[in-house]
């Protein structure tokens, strides 16, 4: 098998695709699956003159077949055939591309069309492969490691990303690791948790789903997170680090997110208080030592940290469970937000008798009918 590389311009590639000279549907290829939005992102990449990953084409006397790059080439073909238009709304926003919003290839201004036509794409031409070589190369090219949300967000350069990285460094420098909380920063798990905390604390709300697009949009902003916000999150992390150093507390991403968010917004930074609250909802705690109220909210927190962890209701239930346990142990001093205290008092009035605290359905209804999870 011989592989030779070239850099043909886009116009010549499109011509070969439209004429059928390059076969986009050989038997080993999947169907065309990219939605319009993803095709538009590829065209946006070309308009910005950014690099597009190379494609592999098998060349033989009988013709050419796409080995890798089918979806990219299909998008290019569709654009040249006016089947998709330019989107001017793709981040990061560009004044130049916004002016092209809605235009199809045939409608592009002359200079823009010329630049698109002259854009070069690296093509690896595979010649004389044996069937085994071709199938093995296809397999290797199509076995990428899926990126975690934290790894994807790691590419969003800017001051907000650096602030998040600094907070993760605080966690690691203070010794937070799998030895103390049950999971490590493998594949940037801590980065993902801290990023989610920063987003909800910036928005002052837990009542909106923390989607990947919401997080990415927040981290694309040029202005840094406020010093007060960063300071509160860092203090919460330091408090958690001090607590788990004394008594390791097994967590997962959902519970760590709730701990950091609650302690940061409530400004509970004393490691002893943090340790007491965390241990109350920890699986390692002997629940028989707890009063009925503590046992109930411990169960709520553990259940909602184990399943349906990203549902808005689960996030609210975990947050309220921490507030209720903090209030039980430290009184009003643990609830800094007057709005939280008012909501907490109203919901406590609706609590069943301790011996009847079994199902969390009443609590779910009470939380959804209140404005718990928003603050100023």
Query: Is the per-residue pLDDT at 362 higher than 80?
Result: yes
Indicate the pLDDT class of residue 196, thresholds 50, 70 and 90: very high
DSSP-assigned states of every residue in 71-88: HHHHHHHHHHTTSS---S
Cα–Cα nearest to 138, from 67, 71, 73, 70: 67
Residue 64 has phi, psi (to 5 degrees) of: -125, 140
Domain ranges, ordered by start, for the chain: 2-141, 149-368
Query: Is the per-residue pLDDT at 30 higher than 80?
Result: no
Tell me the per-residue pLDDT of 287-317, one tens digit each, with 9 for 90 and over. Answer: 566 778 888 999 999 999 998 888 999 999 9
Q: For position 145, what pLDDT does the model report? A: 65
In the predicted model, what is the mean pLDDT of the chain? 90
Name which of 97-106, 123-132, 136-145, 300-309 the model is least confident about: 136-145
Q: Which helix (H) or strand (E) holds 126?
A: strand 123-127
Indicate the pLDDT class of residue 352, thresholds 50, 70 and 90: confident
Q: For position 337, what pLDDT does the model report? A: 76
CA distance 268 to 240: 10
**Dihedral (CA of 35, 70, 157, 230) sign:** positive
Q: For position 369, what pLDDT does the model report? A: 92
Q: For position 198, what pLDDT does the model report? A: 97
| Per-state percent for the chain, helix, strand, coil, to nearest 5 | 60, 5, 35
Q: For position 28, what pLDDT does the model report? A: 59
CA distance 364 to 347: 11
pTM higher than the cut 0.85: no
Q: In the chain, what percentage of residues exceed pLDDT 90?
A: 61
Q: For position 187, what pLDDT does the model report? A: 85
Tell me the per-residue pLDDT of 3-18, one tens digit each, with 9 for 90 and over. Answer: 999 999 999 999 999 9
Tell me the per-residue pLDDT of 208-236, one tens digit each, with 9 for 90 and over. Answer: 999 888 898 898 888 999 999 999 999 99
Q: For position 231, what pLDDT does the model report? A: 97
2-6 and 123-127 strand pairing: antiparallel
State mean pLDDT over 134-142. Answer: 82
Tell me the per-residue pLDDT of 37-81, one tens digit each, with 9 for 90 and over. Answer: 999 999 999 999 999 999 999 998 888 999 889 899 999 999 999
**Number of C-beta neighbours around residue 203 at 10 A:** 14
> CA of 34: how far to CAs of 85, 221, 341, in Å?
15, 28, 49
Burial 18-51 (b: 16+ CB within 10 A, else e): eeeebbbeeeebeeeebeeeebbebbbbbbeeee
State mean pLDDT over 30-34. Answer: 76
State mean pLDDT over 357-368. Answer: 89
State mean pLDDT over 280-291. Answer: 71
Query: Is the per-residue pLDDT at 188 higher than 70?
Result: yes
């Amino acid at each position: 098998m011989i592989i030779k590389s070239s850099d043909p311009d886009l116009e010549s590639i499109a011509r070969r695709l439209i004429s059928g000279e390059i076969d986009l549907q050989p038997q080993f290829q999947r169907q065309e699956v990219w939605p319009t939005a993803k095709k538009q992102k590829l065209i946006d990449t070309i308009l910005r003159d950014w690099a597009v990953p190379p494609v592999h084409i098998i060349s033989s006397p009988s013709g050419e077949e796409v080995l890798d790059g089918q979806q990219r080439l299909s998008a290019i073909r569709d654009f040249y055939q006016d089947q998709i238009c330019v989107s001017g709304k793709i981040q990061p926003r560009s004044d130049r591309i916004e002016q092209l919003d809605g235009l199809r290839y045939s409608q592009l201004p002359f200079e823009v069309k010329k630049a698109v036509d002259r854009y070069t794409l690296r093509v690896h031409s595979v010649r004389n492969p044996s069937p085994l070589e071709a199938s093995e190369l296809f397999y290797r090219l199509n076995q990428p490691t899926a990126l975690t949300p934290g790894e994807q967000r790691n590419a969003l350069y800017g001051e907000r990303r650096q602030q998040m990285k600094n907070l993760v460094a605080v966690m690691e420098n203070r010794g937070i690791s799998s030895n103390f909380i049950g999971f490590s920063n493998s594949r940037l798990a801590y980065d993902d948790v801290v990023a989610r905390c920063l987003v909800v604390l910036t928005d002052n709300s837990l009542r909106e789903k923390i989607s990947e697009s919401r997080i990415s949009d927040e981290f694309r902003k040029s202005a840094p997170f406020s010093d007060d916000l960063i300071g509160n999150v860092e203090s919460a992390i330091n408090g958690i680090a001090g607590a788990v150093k004394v008594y390791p507390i097994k967590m997962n991403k959902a519970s760590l997110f709730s701990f950091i968010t609650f302690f940061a917004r409530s400004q509970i930074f004393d490691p002893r208080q943090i340790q007491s609250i965390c241990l109350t909802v920890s699986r390692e705690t002997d629940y028989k030592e707890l009063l009925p109220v503590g046992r109930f909210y411990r169960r709520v927190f553990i259940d909602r940290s184990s399943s349906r962890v990203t549902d808005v209701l689960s996030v609210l239930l975990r947050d309220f469970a921490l507030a209720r346990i903090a209030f039980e142990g430290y009184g009003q001093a643990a609830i800094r937000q007057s709005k939280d205290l008012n909501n907490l008092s109203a919901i406590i009035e609706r609590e069943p008798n301790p011996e009847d605290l079994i199902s969390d359905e009443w609590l779910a209804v009470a939380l959804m009918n209140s404005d718990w999870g928003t603050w100023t």
